[in-house]
Amino acid sequence: MQHWQKVSLSLLTMACLAAIAPRPAQANMFSQTEVDQSRYAVMAVPLARGGYRLLVVEQIKDTRPCWSESGSNPVVIDPLLTTFDFTGICGRATDSNGYSIRVAQQDLGLQYNLRIERGDGELLLVGSSNRGGPRMIIGRTHGLQEGQFLKFHLEPTWRLTRRTYEGQVLGHVYFTNDSWEAATGSAPSPLPAAATPVGTETNVISVPKPQS
């Protein structure tokens, strides 16, 4: 009887350990695919209460332009998609459900938030770790103009890609860098996958559709 009790206890312990151990297949279940960078605009959107939110717009079809650009240092964006029904023409990512950071083939959506910070006469798009990782500067506006939608120019080693799963291209956009060294200026050990979702920057903006 004692022998079977020990066997049962061992099996129970193994089952519990298996349940809490990270699963490699789940930790890196997504891949990425390249996109035409010119079909996207990354912008800082001014908020009435102050500050900015991040918005990524994609030109899906050429039926009508989704935005226009003017000026330089900074480039001011006119979000044309607010003036017509952009369904099927323009795509938009407004929060962490629509975009995240990916470095060295590692999805950092649970470990890093995308934030907009005011730098020395410009806005910075920053990857900010909530688990002690290094800060990443992803993009800059190269100037500041209050109350305007401003274009982020991604740093040279950064680009946009799209998330894929088992060969299927998804709507989620990655801010992508191929190496930790280029992303952070150092070579930290890859961050462990979080067991449960942690707090993320919402970065939500409501872009109304006109009434039909």
HEC states along the chain?
Answer: CHHHHHHHHHHHHHHHHHHHCCCHHHHCCCEEEECCHHHEEEEEEECCCCCEEEEEEEECCCCCCCCEEECCCCCEEECHHHHCCCCCCEEEECCCCCEEEEECCEECCCCEEEEEEECCCCEEEEEEECCCCCCEEEEECCCCCCCCEEECEECCCCEEEEEEECCEEEEEEEEEECCHHHHHCCCCCCCCCCCCCCCCCCCCCCCCCCCC
Q: Spell out, as residue ranges, where the chain has pLDDT lower than 50.
A: 2-27, 189-212
pLDDT recorded at residue 132: 87
pLDDT recorded at residue 186: 63
pTM given for the model? 0.76
pLDDT recorded at residue 104: 96
pLDDT recorded at residue 193: 41
pLDDT recorded at residue 34: 98
pLDDT recorded at residue 187: 52
pLDDT recorded at residue 76: 98
What is the per-residue pLDDT across 79-125, written as a single tens digit (0 to 9) for each?
999 999 999 999 999 999 999 999 999 999 999 999 999 999 999 99
